[in-house]
Chain A
Amino acid sequence: MAIDMSQFYQVFFEEAAEHLASIENLLVSMDVDAPDAEDLNALFRAAHSIKGSSGTFGFSDMTEVTHVMETLLDMVRKQEKPLTSDIIDACLEAGDVLRNLLAAHMGEEQADAEAAEAVSRRLQALCEQDSSASDAAAADSKAAAGPAASRYEIRFRPDEASRQRSETVDNLVEELARLGHVTHFDRASAADDGRCRIVLESSQPREAFEAIIDFVAESGSVDVRAIAGEVADDASGEEAAGADDEAYGFFGPVPGQAPAEEEAYGLFAEEPPTAVVAAGEEEVSADGSFGLFAAPAAKASRADDEAPDGSYGLFAPTEPRAQAPAAEVAPAPGGVGKSVPAAGAKVAAAGQKKAAVARGGGDSSIRVSVEKVDQMINLVGELVITQAMLTQSAEGLDPVVYERLMNGLVQLERNTRDLQESVMSIRMLPISVVFSRFPRVVRDVSKKLGKHVELKTIGEGTELDKGLVERISDPLTHLIRNSLDHGIESPERRRAAGKAETGTITLKAYHQSGNIVIEVGDDGAGLNREKILSKARERGLETSESMSDSEVWQLIFEPGFSTADQVTDVSGRGVGMDVVKRNIASMGGRVDIDSMGGVGTRMTVRLPLTLAILDGMSVGVGDETYIIPLNYVVESLQPGPNMMRSVSGVDSLIQVRGEYLPVISLREYFDVSDACTDWRKGIMVILEADGTKIALFVDQLIGQHQVVIKSLEANYRRVSGISGATIMGDGRVALILDAAALVGQSRKALAAAA
């Protein structure tokens, strides 16, 4: 059977890489002073998953590192050890080591066994480190809790594998016994729908054993609840649980294990961060009655022995599903639900929201190879052409006679468009995939440089093509490192300049007219014009004092150009910026720089969305048809007799509502014969790109289509003013205009004339 494992390696590699990425994100975003319990759990789970699966596949080096890491994280999670930045650093390092090991298993890198051992030792040391303060605190809280280990009733349905091997359940019980005292154990009673029932007395928070149960239980079948009254005997406990169960059933199915964490989460959200710690501590001391920290009033109500079912009525007016988590809160402390219904309802709402998110983001994705998706995109492209062809052929038919055919064609068009959109969206990924790696970069580099830097990201949801996501990551990393090293000043210099010591790097992404724009901005010193010019002269580049700022800034993209006074291992060797520019240019994009001395620098990367399909307006010039990308088109108008102007040097301008726009005649530009030359007989299409407008003179507007972009370069060459070609409904080829280039060209022409 061993041979079969290798076919799952790829899945393991992908999953492990994802887990590592999420570990890193969680660690970097973690607030050392007030860690979020949910995050700590997520961190633990990720480490645990890597450990588990690497063990399964026999990658024992990874298992060893993750094992120590998991132990440490578990201690932090259970609040046996306070979270320190030391721990975070060590875990980040461990993450890097794991990544290296993973790469080694994938055959990409050399495994660094020494580093693995070193990081294991470091983690181990942290585990063993005697943090007296936290121990004292833990002891305190234990003392406060006293004998008050609370009682939980755990019900779950064992999963397929565990059902067949009875010892897994036994092992579970053993494991649970370590956390507390197992008072009752019922193996898969037929009366209870084949569920196991375990009653556990423990002072541990319920997440501690929920995580364990998850391994043997069928997903969603776990149901853990606190049983009211720690002194109550078994029978009454069961009674309470029974009542609880009844109510539970009434509210409809809710995934069992979710609410416990969620209700706590909901509460934390309501409290300021400092209170979170308090609440978290209470979690240990408050004998597991989660409802307790819903409000201080709850403490008093603990004495209230009233049966929990009485409180349900309070929630009745709300929507049933929203009530479920609240119901979970209510039974534990007895009357809490009753005494603080408002708080309960809030918790319910928050819990509900979180639960919805969790459910939505569950295992609802599949892995598909990119080739398959691309093949699908190509096929849909062909389908769009065929559909356009059909529509065109049907144009000559009598709509009365062929009414059904016409309706069918309309339907086909709509379906094709929908299909196309959804297929295209498969390849689109949010840019957060790229952005998420930068907090780590900023953290590491700023630490190394002794600078205080905060990273702000805006527009993480902006989507772009998967192919671009992979390729944009490196150039952006370069730009950010550059900003960190050269842009942001040292804290002292910032203070001297009257700025806040902490610098800010802003990453911003948005869509603009068919492009995705990514800005990397810093509030640092800005570029130094004189320094760049003198360096450029040193390197023998062509310079002049009269160069505009933006031209000077472009000099930093020259190969080997660096103004850094000293070469650091972060940057300054002058490799990088030219690579950045080249990489971005190869994706059909470009980089612009804005900078102001003392205020900051902003690098703007513009990339096409590289959709294989675009919305276009087809225009006729003579016998030829051209496609203008619709997102550049502002308006179309028929020039009036007095709208045309001429200025020295520029042939023609058109006055549109007070604005003078340069006119490009496509007939002249593409040298088309027998096209309309009379301004008044044609149409002006106003295009806008990069904030500049021009008017394009064409013979006629033909229509609006979705066109499939075909490369002209595959078999031919680049043609200026043309960005590609497409196939029209009649099978002919139409060229797609490169609107941005046309606008850019006319801007240059204007500048030359002025």
Chain B
Amino acid sequence: MQLGSEAVANDDSHRELEQEFLTFTLGPEEYAIDILKVQEIRGYDTVTAIANAPKFIKGVINLRGTIVPIVDLRIKFGIGEVEYTPFTVVIILNLAERVVGVVVDSVSDVIGMTPEQIRPAPNFSSQVGAAFIRGLGTVDERMLIVVDIERLMLAPEMALIDEAAA
């Protein structure tokens, strides 16, 4: 019985093991992040630039009284077209008691995946460090890059937190 259900990935009896992911696109690539890390999705607003910050840190915004830094993942990963239109989307993430916004090309949908659907990624060199990629998920014909967004955003190379704290 168990063996059988493992073979059929989308079996209802496995619902509880299923994790939900928010998927978004950067250029031609599709990424998936744990939905529990997502606080909200909003449009791109004017940011206040911060001096001497890396190019991919656009600045900070006022999110209902909280100062939130905005990272443009398109610049960070060097993919997608970097332009800001009324349709540009910011995903507000809630990571380890910090709030960070990321700019992506577009948000697609929320999908459920079981751990079996996520395969370990082959060794390849990418802009997104291999350490931050949990694996590659396949849903229907789509291939999703599942990113450990918390680890990625809090990594020293994102320059989002003080070196001392990192």
Q: Are A732 and B48 in contact (CB under 8 A)?
A: yes
Q: Give the shortest distance, in Å, between A702 (CB) and chain B (any CB).
A: 14
- Are A714 and B98 also in contact (CB < 8 A) when A671-B51, A719-B52, A735-B50 are? yes
- Mark the stretch among B13-21, B58-66, B106-114, B141-149 that contacts chain A: B58-66
B12 within 8 A of A: no
Question: In the complex, are the beta carbons of A715 and B99 less than 8 A apart?
Answer: yes
Please determine whether B62 and A711 come into contact, CB atoms closer than 8 angstroms.
Answer: no
Given the complex of chains A and B, what is the CA–CA distance between A624 and B62 in angstroms? 15
B68→A671 contact, CB < 8 A: no
CB of A721 within 8 A of chain B?
Answer: yes
CB-CB contacts below 8 Å: B26-81 with A? 46-53, 59-62, 65-69
- Assembly CA distance A731 to B66 (angstroms): 11
How many whole Å from B80's CB to the nearest CB in chain A? 23
Give Cα A714–Cα B68 distance, bound, in whole angstroms.
9
- A468: B residues at CB distance < 8 A: none
The answer to whether A717 and B160 touch across the interface, beta carbons within 8 angstroms, is yes
The answer to whether the Cβ of B157 comes within 8 Å of any Cβ in the partner chain is no
Decide if B67 touches A733 in the complex (CB within 8 Å).
yes
CB contacts under 8 Å to A, within B67-122, are: 67-69, 98-100
A416 CA to B132 CA, complexed, in Å: 48
Check B128 for interface membership: any CB of A closer than 8 A.
no
Is A731 within 8 A of B62, CB to CB? Answer: yes
Q: Give the shortest distance, in Å, between A412 (CB) and chain B (any CB).
A: 19
Q: Name the B residues within 8 Å of A390 (CB-CB).
A: none
Q: Among the listed B48, B51, B98, B100, which residue makes an inter-chain contact with A733, where contact means beta carbons less than 8 Å apart?
A: B48
Minimum CB–CB distance from B9 to chain A (whole Å) comes to: 37
22 intermolecular pairs with C-beta atoms under 8 Å apart = A385-B65, A624-B48, A669-B51, A670-B49, A672-B51, A710-B67, A711-B67, A715-B66, A715-B100, A716-B60, A716-B69, A717-B160, A717-B162, A717-B165, A719-B51, A725-B48, A725-B60, A732-B48, A733-B47, A734-B48, A735-B48, A735-B50
Provide the residues of chain A in CB contact with B100, threshold 8 Å.
Answer: 715
Residue of B nearest to A710 (CB): B67
Contact bitstring A12-30, B, C-beta under 8 A = 1, else 0: 0000000000000000000
Q: Are A732 and B162 in contact (CB under 8 A)?
A: no
- By Cβ-Cβ distance, the 6 closest A-B pairs, closest first, are A670-B51, A733-B48, A716-B69, A717-B162, A727-B62, A725-B67
In the bound assembly, the distance between CA atoms of A624 and B60 in angstroms comes to: 12
Q: Which of A351-399 contact B (CB under 8 A)?
A: 382, 385
Q: Quote the shortest CB–CB distance from B150 to chain A (angstroms).
A: 14
Closest Cβ of chain B: how far from A122's Cβ, in Å? Answer: 51
The CA-CA distance from A715 to B57 in the complex, in Å, is 13
A746 nearest CB across to chain B (Å): 16
Contact A716 B61 (CB under 8 A): no
Shortest C-beta distance, A239 to chain B (Å), equals 73
Q: Report B-chain residues with C-beta under 8 Å of the C-beta of A718.
A: 162
CB contacts (< 8 Å) of B52 on chain A: these are 670-671, 719-720
- Once the chains bind, are A712 and B65 in contact (CB under 8 Å)? no
Closest chain B residue to A718 by CB distance?
B162
In A690-745, the 8 Å CB interface with B consists of: 710-722, 725, 727, 731-735
Q: Taking the complex as formed, is B159 at the interface, i.e. its CB lies under 8 A from any CB of chain A?
A: yes
Which of B47, B53, B61 contacts A719 (CB under 8 A)? B53
A717-B162, A727-B65, A733-B47 known, 4 other contacts, Cβ within 8 Å: A672-B49, A672-B51, A712-B67, A715-B69
Complex CA–CA separation, A725 to B60 (angstroms): 9
Within A519-570, the residues touching B (CB, 8 Å) are none
Q: Is the CB of B48 within 8 A of A716?
A: no
Residue of B nearest to A625 (CB): B48
- Measured CB to CB, the closest approach of chain B to A324, in angstroms, equals 55
Q: Give Cα A602 to B36, complex, Å.
A: 55
- Chain B residues with Cβ under 8 A from A722's Cβ? 50-51
Interface size class of B (residues with CB under 8 A): 20 to 34
Given A720-B52, A732-B46, A710 contacting B159 (CB threshold 8 A): no
Q: How far apart are A737's CB and chain B's nearest CB, in angstroms?
A: 11
- Give the CA-CA distance A202 to B155 in the complex, in Å: 82
Contact between chains at A624 and B160 (CB < 8 Å) = no
CA distance A383 to B165 in the complex (A): 33
Is B161's CB within 8 Å of the partner chain A? yes
The closest CB in chain A to the CB of B59 belongs to A733
Task: Give bound CA distance, A396 to B130, whole Å.
Answer: 54
CA distance A717 to B49 in the complex (A): 14
B38 smallest CB distance to A (angstroms):
15
Q: Nearest chain B CB to A666's CB is how many angstroms away?
A: 9
Check if B161 sits within 8 Å of A717, measured CB to CB.
yes
Q: Chain B residues near A385 (CB, 8 Å)?
A: 65
User: Is A717's CB under 8 angstroms from B99's CB?
Assistant: no
Q: How far is the CB of A652 from chain B (nearest CB, A)?
A: 19
Quick one: which of A626-675 are within 8 Å of B by CB?
A: 669-672
- Chain A positions within 8 Å of B67 at CB level: 710-712, 714-716, 725, 727, 733
Q: Shortest beta-carbon distance, A17 to chain B, in Å? A: 34
Q: How far is the CA of A624 from the CA of B98 in the complex (A)?
A: 25
Q: How far is the CB of B62 from chain A (nearest CB, A)?
A: 5
A720 to B53, CA, bound (A): 10
Cβ-defined contact, B66 with A733, below 8 A:
no
Q: In the assembled complex, how far is the CB of residue B14 from the closest CB belonging to chain A, in whole angstroms?
A: 37
Inter-subunit contact B60/A712 (CB<8 Å): yes
One digit per residue, 1 when the CB lies within 8 angstroms of any chain B CB and 0 when it does not, for chain A 478-492 equals 000000000000000
- In this complex, the member of B50, B61, B67, B68 whose beta carbon has the largest number of chain A beta carbons within 10 angstroms is B67
Q: How far is the CB of A382 from chain B (nearest CB, A)?
A: 6
Q: With a CB–CB cut-off of 8 A, which chain B residues contact A713?
A: 162
Given contacts A715-B98, A716-B160, contact A733 B61 (CB under 8 A): yes
Q: Are the CB atoms of B49 and A624 closer together than 8 Å?
A: yes
Q: Shortest beta-carbon distance, A438 to chain B, in Å?
A: 33
Give the complex CA separation of A714 and B161 in angstroms.
Answer: 9
Chain A contacts for B51, CB-based, 8 A: 669-672, 719, 721-722
Docked complex Cα distance between A672 and B46 (Å): 15
The answer for the CA separation of A720 and B51 in the assembled complex, in Å, is 9
A715 near B162 (CB under 8 angstroms)? no
Give the distance in Å from the alpha carbon of A460 to the alpha carbon of B19 in the complex: 61
Q: Which residue of B lies closest to A708 (CB)?
A: B65
Closest to B47 in A: A733
CA distance in complex: A713, B89 (Å): 24
Contacts of A731 in B (CB 8 A): 62
Nearest neighbor of A728 in chain B, beta-carbon distance: B62
Residues on A with C-beta less than 8 A from B61 are 733
Complex interface: chain A residues within 8 A of B60 (CB): 712, 716, 725, 733
Contacts of B161 in A (CB 8 A): 716-717
Instruction: Give Cα A732–Cα B45 distance, bound, in whole angstroms.
Output: 9
Task: Name the residue on A nearest B63 (C-beta).
Answer: A715
Q: B50: which A residues are within 8 A, CB to CB?
A: 716, 719, 722, 735
A732 and B69 contacting across the interface, CB-CB below 8 Å: no
Residues of B close to A721: CB separation below 8 A: 51
Chain A residue at minimal CB-CB distance from B46: A732
Distance in angstroms between the alpha carbons of A718 and B53 in the assembled complex: 11
A716 to B60, CA, bound (A): 9
Alpha-carbon distance A718/B166, docked complex (angstroms): 13
Give A301 to B162 CA distance when docked, in angstroms: 82
